[in-house]
Amino acid sequence: MHHVRLSVTDIERSKAFYTALVGAEPALDRTAELSSDPGAVDDPQRFFGGAVFELGGQVLGLRPVPAASGQTFSPDRPGLDHISLAVDSRTDLDAASARLAAAGVEHGEVIEIPAQGIAVLSLQDPDDINLELTAPLG
C-alpha cells in the first residue's frame, strides 16, 4: 500500500490529533493555503488543501471536506472499517499510549492478542474513524 487519505471535517483539529498520534509534524502541509484560496480544496497539485504524514515507506493524508449535516463516520457502512498503523515494538506502543495521554487524546488500553501475535491500542480520531496502533508481541 502506498497511502491512505482520510476526509476530515476540521483540518486543523485533525492535523493536531494526527501529529500527537504519530509523534511528528506533517511532512507536507498545504492547509495554510485554504485561508487565502478556498479553491485549494479542489486542487490535487496542492493536495486538496490538506496535510500529509510520512509513516516509514507509507503516507497518511488528510483532506478537508465540509461536514454534512448529521453525517458521521461509521464502520458499519461500506467503505472503511478501521486503519491500523504499525509500530516496531510493544515498547513503542506503550510510548505512543503515554504520548497520547500527555496530549489529552482519549484511547483504550493496550490489548494483547496472542493468537495473532500482536498488541493493539485503539482510539477514535476527531471524525470518529477507528484507528489502531499495532505492535508485534515478543
**b or e along 82-112 (b: 16 or more beta carbons within 10 Å of the residue's beta carbon)?**
eeebebeebeebeebbeebeeeebebeebee
Structural domains present in the chain: 3-64 (3.30.720), 83-136 (3.10.180.10)
Q: Could you report the per-residue pLDDT of 76-119, keeping only the tens digit for each? A: 887 889 999 999 999 999 999 999 999 999 999 999 999 999 99
pLDDT above 90 as % of the chain: 67
Q: Could you report the per-residue pLDDT of 1-11, keeping only the tens digit for each? A: 778 999 898 99
29, pLDDT greater than 70: yes
pLDDT of residue 69: 66
pLDDT of residue 38: 78
